[in-house]
Amino acid sequence: MRNPEAPAGAAGPDDGRPLQDKVAIVTGGSSGIGRSACVAFARAGAGVLAVGRSAARLNETLAEARRAGGDASRLMSLTLDVGNEMDMARMAERALERFGRIDILLASAGILRNGKGPKTAIELDLDDWNAILRTNLRGTFLSNRAVLPAMLRQRGGDIINVSSTSGLRGFAYDAAYCASKFGIIGLSESLAEEVRRQGVRVMTLCPGPASTAMWDQNLPVPPPEKTMPVERVTELLMYIVTLPRDTVLHNPVIVPLRSHRRPAFRAPGPGSAVGRGEEPLLMSRDRSPRGGSKWARRGRHGSGDARRSCAAAPGASAGPWPSAWRATAPRSPWPTSARKAPRRRCASCEPSTPRRW
């Protein structure tokens, strides 16, 4: 049943086939995110055109889409090169001949290397640079440009260009790849501004490490220890294309959940905030190698305002964080000597000789 609050034409959360009567083109459909997207689109009722460079792998994609419940009469594939202008024009023409419309383009074709392993920018030759940008950036531009005339005539459509977290931050040995993914974000944002008034949404998806064959191009460097299945990316993609037409996601990032071991304490310092359930790390404002700052090492009673509050409210905690939060904080793996600051009485409680810290 469709959500009554959703605008007409928007898929409701309970729709079994939210993309019924839609047509999706997927570049890079022979493997990875592209293949998973083809299967998801077909399962959701869309007609699918999978584009790639390997006919055999494209056939495997279509077979998987049929097993997922896709309509075999609305599934097709084309062996084309996304970096070739004529091939991309042919892609749009064939889609219109077969289906009569184009509603979704997922531009996911991309390469990490030119088949020669990691290289620094100095070692990167022009052939490697051109090959990566030709597929990743030029291919995105040509595929977008090819489908736009049909979408503008329809006064609607969705273009999702796959960038990467490498399009948000540069990484060593990935100069060409990062440049291409940064470029995809800029291209998508510019294009989105040009066509949004005609009902066409252009968005960029920025996935982190996913379990795809792309990591084979990085050998002998092993893939990251923590990757996410491509189905996680596809679930986000389905959410994006079924949003109400008046809504877009701006460069959404999806990454695997990593288990970072971090200290149980967080640095509170003057003016900082500590969340419930977290203890502050006694860090140094002066970067003291002993750990703990002059402010932090003064302990519960502290000095200045903390000392005055101690005298004003006997028995109250004058420490740098609320006692209720400290009581609910997780047990710290740190040694006791590192966790507890030395205590001293403040002048209001017991006069003592001033001590230099």
pLDDT at position 215, please?
Answer: 66
Q: Using the predicted structure, report yes or no on whether residue 22 has a pLDDT greater than 60.
A: yes
Phi, psi (deg, nearest 5) at residue 93: -60, -45
Higher pLDDT, 1 or 144: 144
- Report yes or no: 46 and 69 within 8 Å, Cβ to Cβ: no
Closest CA to 194 of 244, 245, 249, 144: 144
Q: Using the predicted structure, report yes or no on whether residue 228 has a pLDDT greater than 80.
A: yes
**Does any domain span residue 278?**
yes
Show which of 254, 283, 299 is a domain's final residue. 254
Are both 167 and 216 inside the same structural domain?
yes
H or E, element range at 336: helix 336-339
Q: Using the predicted structure, report yes or no on whether residue 102 has a pLDDT greater than 90.
A: yes
CA dist 7 and 342 (Å) reads 62
**Does any domain span residue 351?**
yes
* Strands, E assignment, the chain: 23-27, 47-52, 75-79, 104-107, 157-162, 200-207, 253-254
pLDDT at position 216, please?
Answer: 67
Are both 219 and 120 inside the same structural domain?
yes
Are both 267 and 305 inside the same structural domain?
yes
Q: Using the predicted structure, report yes or no on whether residue 343 has a pLDDT greater than 70.
A: no
Are both 193 and 229 inside the same structural domain?
yes
CA dist 57 and 71 (Å) reads 19
pLDDT at position 316, please?
Answer: 46
Exactly one of 41, 141, 177, 321 is catalytic; name it.
177
Q: What is the pLDDT of residues 259-314, one digit of tens each?
A: 344 444 344 444 444 444 444 343 333 444 444 434 344 444 444 444 444 444 44
- Report yes or no: 132 and 118 within 8 Å, Cβ to Cβ: no
Show which of 254, 280, 315 is a domain's final residue. 254
Q: Which residues of 65-79 are buried (b: 16+ CB within 10 A; e: fewer)?
A: beeeebeeebbbbbe
pLDDT at position 60, please?
Answer: 95
CA dist 24 and 172 (Å) reads 35
Q: Structure tokens of 145?
A: 């440009």
- Report yes or no: 342 and 294 within 8 Å, Cβ to Cβ: no
**Does any domain span residue 206?**
yes
Closest CA to 234 of 99, 37, 18: 37
Q: How confident is the model at residue 9 (pLDDT cuts 50, 70, 90)?
A: very low
Average pLDDT over residues 202-227: 78
**Does any domain span residue 154?**
yes
CATH number at residue 134: 3.40.50.720
- Report yes or no: 89 and 8 within 8 Å, Cβ to Cβ: no
**Does any domain span residue 36?**
yes
Active site residue 177: yes
Q: How far is CA 218 from CA 112, 119, 174, 228, 256, in A?
A: 7, 10, 10, 17, 19
Range(s) of the domain holding residue 120: 23-254
pTM: 0.69
CA dist 12 and 5 (Å) reads 9
Show which of 254, 272, 297 is a domain's final residue. 254
List strands edge to edge, sheet with 253-254: 75-79, 47-52, 23-27, 104-107, 157-162, 200-207, 253-254
Range with the poorest average pLDDT among 56-70, 114-128, 318-332: 318-332
- Report yes or no: 309 and 316 within 8 Å, Cβ to Cβ: yes
Total domains present in the chain: 2
Average pLDDT over residues 322-341: 48
Answer positive or negative: Cα dihedral of 250, 256, 257, 258: negative
